[in-house]
Chains A and B, each alone.
Chain A
């Protein structure tokens, strides 16, 4: 059975196109490229926060095709390895493909080294794929998890394929509405419950204002002990008009 990676591969670094050609129809820059007609988007709010002992990942659950909500209870928090997870935003297809690749590479790495991979390695693999295929992808990803070397870590990987380690990260279309809120309320070394309250509040606010975000809030707490998956149902959101 032969099986080929075809277009999406790690490639050697290549000289980039000049700026004049970058906006040409086929090679639009990441920021101005839009979803293809009919393509499914995780127009989204995603968030990840470091706390004392691990990391919390949080996301809304709305997946839309234009104005139609294709899935109102999707899971945008994907597992890459035992204690490494990522939040997906942008094109659902692109982020699913990326997640599958990184999960495969991490599994191979773990079996060969006999150790759990570090979160920064997972983030680097994700970012390599996002950068080297930036012309063909629309994916904003937040990688977060726990490893024995660095503890809890969060890496933000926005559209062009940069990889930024941060104490907390927000992403997706709904994140624009909550920058101020999160900047004001985030503190380092929160307890797990404080961090959970923060992510739920922030994502709630984003869901209230962003049409592409909604549904339920899913949370994932990753620590040395393990993973806790949970959700807040739509009628119990910390913030939002009553009756949703």
Chain B
């Protein structure tokens, strides 16, 4: 039933779906997991680096994490070759913005530029979408530390904590219970004081140390016992 409407990106299905985009999202669910957590004093990103062969030469660069400019980084899940194109776009955009406006690019501006680029491949040209999801982390003066997630459709949203790649649902459900709750703090960490408005579900933002512990916890769960590499 979907078959007649799924081979072209530029065609909606009768249910109003773009199947090529959805298939692209499926491709990412086989990629190494990346988790991102927003903290009060920073953003923590942790990624699973899959070791596909012992014969591979030690890589000088990562296939998961890339610096886009002095104040923004991204983490990749999906087709590395596709990601490289988008990362070049992002780096150029950040550089040209800084050249033109003589100030660092606001993070959402950068994310939106990359996403608009991705969106074009879902609407014109007959080309396939990029099989990449990103986590963007960065800081700007107006909004402080930020974490964004984007997918092949060109949609993006800001998150306090999220997971992309393999087993992301398991990671997300763990984050839902753990993020900002007192169980993510260890002995000796400052405990949130009770106040009249505090409900059991109130989320307090962790600091970077707590966020890092949580990120590792999430990855351990999504990697289901696979050997952790130093990355």
Interface residues of A (CB under 8 A from B): 3, 100-101, 103-104, 107-108, 111-112, 114
Known contacts A107-B95, A111-B91, A114-B61; is A3 also within 8 Å of B67 by CB? no
The 8 A CB mask of B63-104 against A (1 = contact, 0 = none) is 000011100000000000000000000011011101110000
The smallest beta-carbon distance between B23 and chain A, in angstroms, is 31
When chains A and B are docked, how far (Å) is the Cα of A114 from the Cα of B68?
Answer: 10
Please indicate the chain B residues that have their CB under 8 angstroms from the CB of A112 in the complex.
91
The residues in B between 90 and 120 inclusive whose CB is less than 8 angstroms from any CB of A are 91-92, 94-96, 98-100
Q: Report yes or no: B67 in contact with A108, Cβ–Cβ below 8 A.
A: no
When chains A and B are docked, how far (Å) is the Cα of A202 from the Cα of B95?
Answer: 38
The 8 A CB mask of B139-154 against A (1 = contact, 0 = none) is 0000000000000000
Q: Report yes or no: A111 in contact with B99, Cβ–Cβ below 8 A.
A: no
The smallest beta-carbon distance between B155 and chain A, in angstroms, is 21
Q: Report yes or no: A108 in contact with B95, Cβ–Cβ below 8 A.
A: yes
Please indicate the chain A residues that have their CB under 8 angstroms from the CB of B68 in the complex.
111
Please indicate the chain B residues that have their CB under 8 angstroms from the CB of A101 in the complex.
99
The smallest beta-carbon distance between B98 and chain A, in angstroms, is 7
Interface residues of B (CB under 8 A from A): 61, 67-69, 91-92, 94-96, 98-100
Please indicate the chain B residues that have their CB under 8 angstroms from the CB of A108 in the complex.
91-92, 95
When chains A and B are docked, how far (Å) is the Cα of A233 from the Cα of B155?
Answer: 56
Please indicate the chain B residues that have their CB under 8 angstroms from the CB of A107 in the complex.
69, 95, 98
Q: Report yes or no: A104 in contact with B95, Cβ–Cβ below 8 A.
A: yes
When chains A and B are docked, how far (Å) is the Cα of A3 from the Cα of B92?
Answer: 12
Most B CB contacts (10 A, CB to CB) among A3, A101, A104, A108 go to A108
Q: Report yes or no: A104 in contact with B99, Cβ–Cβ below 8 A.
A: yes
When chains A and B are docked, how far (Å) is the Cα of A64 from the Cα of B98?
Answer: 29
The smallest beta-carbon distance between B48 and chain A, in angstroms, is 21
The smallest beta-carbon distance between A83 and chain B, in angstroms, is 15
Q: Report yes or no: A114 in contact with B67, Cβ–Cβ below 8 A.
A: yes
Q: Considering the complex of A and B, which 9 residue pairs feature the smallest CB-CB distances, nearest first?
A: A104-B99, A108-B95, A111-B91, A107-B95, A104-B95, A111-B67, A3-B96, A3-B100, A100-B99
Please indicate the chain A residues that have their CB under 8 angstroms from the CB of B99 in the complex.
100-101, 103-104
The smallest beta-carbon distance between A211 and chain B, in angstroms, is 32
When chains A and B are docked, how far (Å) is the Cα of A114 from the Cα of B73?
Answer: 13
Please indicate the chain A residues that have their CB under 8 angstroms from the CB of B69 in the complex.
107, 111
The smallest beta-carbon distance between A40 and chain B, in angstroms, is 19
